[in-house]
Amino acid sequence: MRTIWYEETLIAMIRIEIDGQAVDVERDTTILQAARQLAIDIPALCHHAAVKPYSACRICTVEVIRRGRSQLTASCSYPIREEIQVLTNSERVIHARRVLMELLLAQCPESKDIRDLAHRLGVENTRFRTRGEGSNCILCGLCVRVCRDVIGVSAISFVNRGWKREVKTPFDAPSEVCIACRACAHVCPTGAIQAEDISGNRMLSFWQTSRELQACASCGRPFAPGAEVQHLTRGRDDLRESLGICPQCRRTETGGRLERWTTSAQSRAIKDHGTP
């Protein structure tokens, strides 16, 4: 292995090649990260920078040539540890990705996001039997991981096994712990989870759960689930005031404070020097 030592940082860099372009990366950088450094686009569905790789969708498959041998692998979880050559667009990769895409298309033919990605990969139809009515979930697990590892609530999980596997709340009942922060809806790659604010409540119908929205302490408009505000301000009295008002009012208030500050600074300057 050729290792380049960068004196200032003393970090061992590994030189790899992606689609013919060389790049030096730190050990354990994933292929997906390295490719993004080069602005090489690799499709990815179950990957999100906020959580650890999980490699469920395999759509990020690339061809890795290591010591003269080639293999197909998921780029989002492949840690770079030695000199390798990566092909993100070889015939093998394209073929594998298209088959995967057909499978995903069969699983949720109604998801616009999935159909758009399929179209991008040149897949319009699927040879596999499509799942009828049902959710658009592809079981990527992003919602479960974000809720557990980033939000720290663990309101949802995978349930059952095999072809019955689903993401659900415990006992398939409205969640008792969900704070309706909608982080799950935000990361879901297929739009299976939707959050709606209606008449003072935030509804997450996918989880059969709703939470009351709290009124802004300043303008009185309902703006965020009380449960979420409470969760964010747990043990943080310093945040309670600023998170109790809606983003709009917060902006107005910050603007006002800034204005007061500049005018007082100006008047001080006039006092000291006679001119502003």
Partner 1 sequence: MESEELQGIIDHYAGEKGALISVLQDLQGVCNYLPEPALRQVSDALHVPLSQVYSVASFYNAFSLKPRGRHHICVCLGTACHVRGAPRVLQEMERQLGIRAGDTTEDMNFTLESVNCVGACALGPVVVADGGYSGQMTARKVSPLLKTLGTSHEENQNDS
| CB 108 to ligand FES: min, Å | 15
Q: C-beta of 117: minimal distance to ligand FES in Å?
A: 11
Which among partner 1, ligand SF4, ligand FES, none contacts residue 74 (Cβ within 5 to 8 A by kind)? ligand FES
When binding is defined by CB under 8 A, the residue of 15, 36, 148, 250 that contacts partner 1 is: 148
Exactly one of 75, 136, 169, 209 binds partner 1 (CB under 8 A); that residue is 169
Residue 117 within binding range of ligand SF4, rule CB under 6 A:
no
State which of residues 18, 23, 64, 74 lies at the interface with ligand FES (CB under 6 A).
Answer: 74
Long-range contacts for 213-218 (Cβ within 8 Å, ≥24 apart)?
Answer: 214/244, 216/244, 216/245, 216/246, 216/249, 217/241, 217/244, 217/245, 218/245, 218/246, 218/249, 218/253
Q: Which of residues 175-194 bind ligand SF4 (CB under 6 A)?
A: 187-190, 192-193
Cα(229)–Cα(241) distance, rounded to whole angstroms? 10
CA–CA distance, 57 with 72 (Å, rounded to integer): 14
Taking the CA atoms of the chain, what radius of gyration do you get in angstroms?
25
46 counts as binding ligand FES under rule CB under 6 A: yes
Q: How distant, in Å, are the alpha carbons of 3, 82, 159, 234 from that of 162?
A: 44, 36, 10, 38
Q: Which of 230, 226, 231, 183 is nearest to 207 (CA)?
A: 183
Of 31, 32, 101, 142, which lies in the binding site for ligand SF4, with binding defined by CB under 6 A? 142
Residue 60 vs 167, nearer CB to ligand FES: 60
Positions that interact with partner 1 (CB under 8 A)? 148, 154-161, 169-171, 176-177
